[in-house]
A and B are shown apart, each in its own frame.
Chain A
Amino acid sequence: MTITVNGAAVSLPNDPRVSLLDLLREDLHLPGTKKGCNQGACGACTVLVDGERILSCLALAVQFEGRSVTTIEGLGMPGALHPLQAAFVEHDGFQCGYCTPGQICSAIGMAEEIRRGVPSHVTSDLSSETIALSRDELRERMSGNLCRCGAHNGIIDAIAETFAPKTALAEAAE
């Protein structure tokens, strides 16, 4: 029974109570994924499973056998940051930095959802194939990630700068 974390196969825990979050933080010593509520209410524990964003605190690790998990540590490290991580620094998209890994993983999952054309609560035309990358769309789609320091504007700025050009290009191509 293994699970892939940031490219490496690791064993699943024997205790089925262990959440994916605690597996990462306590067993694998990957504390970049944060615990903010342990009840699915804050988004700090967001990771990517096969590219899709989920909450690792509500995920029992055993459910994810054979799946591929990417955490913040797998995205980039100081000296070799992911463009979105660098944009967060540039736009001051954080203060204390605790919700930040979750915000970044969530935004990367979100970008893929937008590329796929998944609508949101604020999408006015559900039948449309493409999603306009408005600030409202970004704000609604990121609402599952709480930030108490109030870095919301910087977070949306960083995301918009990182992903908007690509989406604009995609729209232009259609």
Chain B
Amino acid sequence: MTPFRYSRATDVADAIRQSGDCNTRYLGGGTNLVDLMRETVERPEALVDVSGLSRDIEELPDGGLLIGAGVRNTALAEHRSVRTRYPALSRAILAGASAQIRNMATVGGNLLQRTRCAYFYDDDGSRCNKRLPGQGCDALEGFNRNHAILGASPSCVAVHPSDMAVALAALDGVVHLHGARGERSFPVADLHRLPGDRPDVDTLLEPGELITAIELPPLPFAARSTYRKVRDRSSYAFALVSVAALLDVEDGRIRDVRIALGGVAHKPWRAFKAEEVLRGGPPRAAAFTAAADAELADAKPLAGNGFKIELARRTIAAVLGELAGETA
């Protein structure tokens, strides 16, 4: 691990002040950043500890929730309002990592996890455009079973590893940011970038910008939401494919629907095309499969991950089927 300065932020303003140097990183639970620093994939000169900030979950007057970025994953998953009004979010968090890691990891840090691509991690022996732009990508022709089928580029085929972010993308979550130039916010689904020719840039965050909170809008039909994760081990493994979905059925018609996919792209993949196909139609198996097909029409398999297309197709259909069954 490269030597670094450590300091603790007293509040958001203090954190932003301290982050003046662009080689400073904010430290949440450390569960991903400390690991990457030890692998010398990340080499910040300073860490500003923000893990003590923004640890509240606030009920908003409009019925939504405002989740501080420092809230621990466990605290969010066990929060009563999340469990009952946004169960997909609880389920997604509980499907991720291990209890120990969920106790440490913050909501902000979870969103900013970096890919688990083996070539990205291998600072000593592999080429990776995400680590070092222009170096080349060893995953393209290498082990890419876990890699992207949607939105990848010739320079990067990595996937985003978060489960929580997939649920937040489906639930229309909004991320609140503070930076030197003030505050801003945008949908979680837009936070992460597609790799293009700059896979080193994971998100739209500007240097020094800090995630302060996630807002969940009031979304009554989110009470009928779920998250399904498909993985090689029964637990404690990253998703091959995951699906977060909400389904609002009224009078035999799909009034509204949200779907997001994990494990398939460089970002949590909001399945807008599938939603479009479904809206207004009947909640039937054929429609669910057609919607999945629409979303996956542009999927491009690599040598090792072609199965993900069929897996995603089936999992989307099964999750929607389950929700439709519940609603019926």
**9-residue interface stretch from B93-101, B167-175, B244-252:** B93-101
Residues in chain A near residue B5, CB distance under 8 A: 16
Is A116 touching B78 in the complex (CB atoms < 8 A)?
yes
Given contacts A40-B31, A119-B83, contact A144 B74 (CB under 8 A): no
Residues in chain B near residue A58, CB distance under 8 A: 29-31, 34-35, 101, 104
CA distance A123 to B104 in the complex (A): 21
- Residues in B74-98 with C-beta less than 8 Å from chain A: 74, 77-78, 83-84, 87, 90-91, 94-95, 97-98
* B27 sits at the interface (CB 8 A): yes
Is A119 touching B103 in the complex (CB atoms < 8 A)?
no
In this complex, what residue of B is CB-closest to A56? Answer: B100
Given contacts A60-B30, A63-B30, A144-B236, contact A113 B99 (CB under 8 A): yes
Residues in chain B near residue A71, CB distance under 8 A: none
What 1/0 flags go to A5-25 for Cβ under 8 Å of B?
000000000011101000000
Residues in chain B near residue A127, CB distance under 8 A: 83-84
Is A59 touching B104 in the complex (CB atoms < 8 A)?
yes
* A38 sits at the interface (CB 8 A): yes
Residues in chain B near residue A121, CB distance under 8 A: 91, 94-95, 235
Q: Give chain A nearest CB distance to B156 CB in angstroms.
A: 23
Is A144 touching B98 in the complex (CB atoms < 8 A)?
yes
Most buried by A among B4, B87, B236: B236
The count of residues in chain A whose C-beta lies closer than 8 Å to any C-beta of chain B is 37
CA distance A144 to B233 in the complex (A): 12
What 1/0 flags go to A62-73 for Cβ under 8 Å of B?
110000000000
Given contacts A53-B103, A55-B104, A141-B99, contact A60 B91 (CB under 8 A): no
Give chain A's interface secondary structure class: loop
CA distance A83 to B234 in the complex (A): 29
In this complex, what residue of A is CB-closest to B29? Answer: A58
- Residues in B220-275 with C-beta less than 8 Å from chain A: 234-236
* B325 sits at the interface (CB 8 A): no
CA distance A146 to B27 in the complex (A): 27
CA distance A53 to B103 in the complex (A): 7
Given contacts A63-B27, A121-B94, contact A53 B99 (CB under 8 A): yes
Is B6 touching A16 in the complex (CB atoms < 8 A)?
yes
Is B34 touching A106 in the complex (CB atoms < 8 A)?
no
* B1 sits at the interface (CB 8 A): yes
Q: Say which residue of B4, B94, B97 sits within 8 Å of A119 (CB atoms).
A: B94
Q: Give chain B nearest CB distance to A70 CB in angstroms.
A: 14
* B38 sits at the interface (CB 8 A): yes
Is B98 touching A143 in the complex (CB atoms < 8 A)?
yes
Q: Give chain A nearest CB distance to B49 CB in angstroms.
A: 6
Residues in chain B near residue A117, CB distance under 8 A: 78
CA distance A141 to B234 in the complex (A): 12
Q: Give chain A nearest CB distance to B238 CB in angstroms.
A: 11
* A126 sits at the interface (CB 8 A): yes
Given contacts A43-B100, A62-B6, A121-B235, contact A126 B84 (CB under 8 A): yes
Q: Give chain B nearest CB distance to A44 CB in angstroms.
A: 11
Residues in chain B near residue A160, CB distance under 8 A: none
Is A119 touching B236 in the complex (CB atoms < 8 A)?
no
What 1/0 flags go to A35-59 for Cβ under 8 Å of B?
0001110010010000011110011
Interface set of A (CB-CB < 8 Å, partner B): 15-17, 19, 38-40, 43, 46, 52-55, 58-60, 62-63, 106, 109-110, 113, 116-121, 123, 126-127, 139-141, 143-145
The 3 closest A-B pairs by CB, nearest first: A144-B98, A143-B235, A16-B6
A-B CB contact pairs (8 Å), 19 listed? A38-B38, A46-B100, A53-B100, A54-B100, A55-B104, A58-B31, A58-B34, A63-B30, A63-B49, A63-B51, A113-B74, A118-B77, A118-B78, A121-B91, A126-B83, A127-B83, A143-B98, A143-B235, A144-B99
Q: A63-B51, A110-B99, A113-B74 are in contact. List 6 more A-B contacts (CB 8 A).
A: A53-B99, A58-B35, A60-B27, A63-B27, A126-B91, A143-B234
